[in-house]
Structure 1
Amino acid sequence: MNLRSAALLLLSLSCGFAAAPGFARDLDQDEALRLRREGIIMPFEQLMQHVGKAYPGSTLLEAELEEEDGVLVYEVEILTTSGVVRELELDARDGRILKDEEDD
């Protein structure tokens, strides 16, 4: 995935909720690019390599950068090669998969 594609995905972010326990705040494209430039979060392309290792050949369907209880998280929806849609949450700082479940 190239930078332009990642930027377009980030454009799909919607307005978020106020930061409060149990709520997530969506970050907009400008905020995401600033965090990346400052080295606070991983480049999206690099982060997606973690997904590719867990689900080789999968297709990215949707991605959002959120702040959940003070933690920057990419919420990613993928389609696996077996046709299953999975929702993953990845730590935006280091790419660790925090949540991995089949999407309903």
Structure 2
Amino acid sequence: MNQDEALSLRQRGVILPLEQFIERALRLHPGARLLEAELEEKNNMYVYEFELLTPQGVVRELKFDASSSKLLKDEDD
């Protein structure tokens, strides 16, 4: 999904702000670095997907429902 589509969804209140999810993902894994962030549509649901690199060198994949902020996945990638 491109930036314009994501901005339109945000402005219409369909999804919550990306920054909110980045902060939450980093709070779940203190000291981790954000490697990748993207917004995807899956099964009529918008999902923020993140890859984090933990201080231990482990890559974690996190997924959040972009509308409700529910954590859908948090596991080693």
Q: Under a length normalisation based on structure 2, what TM-score does the superposition of the two structures give? A: 0.89
For the 8 Å contact 2:63–2:74, the answer to whether it is kept is yes
What is the aligned counterpart of 1:94 among 58, 68, 72?
68
Higher Cα radius of gyration = 1
Residue 44 of structure 2: which of 43, 56, 70 is its match? 70
Alpha-carbon distance in structure 1 between the residues aligned to 2:35 and 2:41: 20
**Corresponding residue SS for 2:48:** strand
- Partner AA of 2:27 in structure 1: K
Query: Counterpart of 1:34 in 2: which secondary structure?
Result: helix
Match of 1:48, SS?
Answer: helix
Aligned residue pairs, count: 77
Query: Quick one: percent identity of the two aligned structures?
Result: 53
Q: Distance in 1 between matches of 2:21 and 2:46?
A: 13
Show CA shifts across 1:1-52 (max 9, x none).
Answer: xxxxxxxxxxxxxxxxxxxxxxxxxx21111011111121111111112212
Q: Distance in 1 between matches of 2:69 and 2:56?
A: 23
User: Could you tell me whether the CA contact under 8 Å between 2:51 and 2:60 is conserved in 1?
Assistant: yes
Task: Compute the RMSD of aligned alpha carbons.
Answer: 1.2
Question: Whose strand proportion is higher, 1 or 2?
Answer: 2
Aligned amino acid, residue 67 of structure 1: E
Taking the aligned partners of 2:11 and 2:34, their CA distance within structure 1 comes to 23
Gaps of 5+ in 2: none
Which digits, 9 at most, give the CA deviation of each residue in 1:55-97, with x for residues without a partner? 1121110111111101100111111122110111111113221
Q: 1:80 aligns with which of 54, 57, 62?
A: 54
